[in-house]
A and B are shown apart, each in its own frame.
Chain A
């Protein structure tokens, strides 16, 4: 495969690659955001529980 012409996208590189980059960013954020939120939630709940149990 000719990488140079692949990346050039027939002269449309400035339109094609940002489209794909944004798509990958959107897909990643859609998964990472809830993943981190769930971990944070479970940690908060566990800490609250431990405080409650302590006399």
Chain B
């Protein structure tokens, strides 16, 4: 049974139809979670006793930073599927994820700067956390450039898979940078074995925003993968039928 499911998902036609059905649901859940998360984070959550209202940047900064790392790992897993099983759908998802990952990395860096200026007194410092996150942005841009540089789709997919796998080494470096080196950036507050050192009234809206970013990614990556599949399969009958039906 499980094997049939895996096999079906590997078919671009089946995947395209499934993605089309799923995206509105993920999109709807995202909007709902964003409304709740924004209201909770901006209005309900109390100000911080040290940072006042400035800490509210956390509700976009931390989810964006988490997504920036999660998306690269998503690409690395897709890369394995591309390299080992030559899965076209996995290649489409990997390519679709890259610009989204870049956007979240940029968002994490800029919101971090905007938080750093009032709290640290500087927009930027070359500490290990900030530098490794900047390296991640360059990895994403490198991946995107690589995809547009290679004409042949399957070759581009395999090269991208290798880059995604090699680049994954940067993810633990980002995560542990605040423990391995002395950084201006604070240590882990949530993702550690102890209880999180953040009060529940701030942690809960943060988690809502994090899930909202996650469902947003699901929506966006499915939408973008749909485009990749349409472009790759534009000569096949089922794509022509959909195009005809849409433009009748």
Shortest A44–chain B CB gap in Å is 8
Bound together, the chains give a CA A38 to CA B96 distance in angstroms of: 13
Interface residues of A in 8-44 (CB under 8 A from B): 9-12, 15-16, 18-20, 22-23, 26-27, 29-31, 33-35, 37-39, 41-43
Residue pair B240, A34 in contact (C-beta under 8 Å): no
Binds A, one of B3-11, B76-84, B200-208, B219-227: B219-227
* Residues of chain B whose beta carbon lies under 8 Å from any beta carbon of chain A: 27, 34, 38, 42-43, 47, 52-54, 56-57, 60-61, 64, 96, 99-100, 103-104, 106-107, 110-111, 114-115, 117-118, 216, 219-220, 223-224, 226-227, 230-231, 234, 239-240, 242-244, 246-247
Can you list 24 A-B pairs with a CB-CB distance of less than 8 A? A6-B43, A11-B52, A12-B118, A15-B54, A16-B54, A19-B61, A19-B114, A26-B103, A26-B104, A27-B216, A30-B99, A34-B223, A34-B224, A38-B223, A41-B227, A41-B230, A41-B234, A41-B243, A42-B242, A42-B243, A42-B247, A45-B230, A45-B243, A49-B243
Interface centre among A9, A27, A33, A48, by most chain B C-beta atoms within 10 angstroms, is A27
Residue pair B52, A35 in contact (C-beta under 8 Å): no
Bound together, the chains give a CA A26 to CA B246 distance in angstroms of: 28
Given A22-B110, A35-B223, A49-B244, answer yes or no on A30-B54 (Cβ-Cβ < 8 Å).
no
Bound together, the chains give a CA A16 to CA B45 distance in angstroms of: 15
Residue pair A31, B57 in contact (C-beta under 8 Å): no
Bound together, the chains give a CA A41 to CA B232 distance in angstroms of: 11
The contact size tier of chain A is 20 to 34
Shortest A34–chain B CB gap in Å is 4
Interface of A, secondary structure class, is: helix
Provide the residues of chain B in CB contact with A43, threshold 8 Å: 243, 246-247
Contact of A26 among B107, B117, B243 (CB under 8 A): B107
* Residues of chain A whose beta carbon lies under 8 Å from any beta carbon of chain B: 1, 6, 9-12, 15-16, 18-20, 22-23, 26-27, 29-31, 33-35, 37-39, 41-43, 45-49
Residue pair A31, B223 in contact (C-beta under 8 Å): yes
Listed from nearest, the 3 A-B pairs whose CB atoms lie closest are: A10-B53, A46-B247, A45-B243
Provide the residues of chain A in CB contact with B114, threshold 8 Å: 15-16, 18-19
Shortest A16–chain B CB gap in Å is 5
Provide the residues of chain A in CB contact with B104, threshold 8 Å: 26
Shortest A22–chain B CB gap in Å is 6
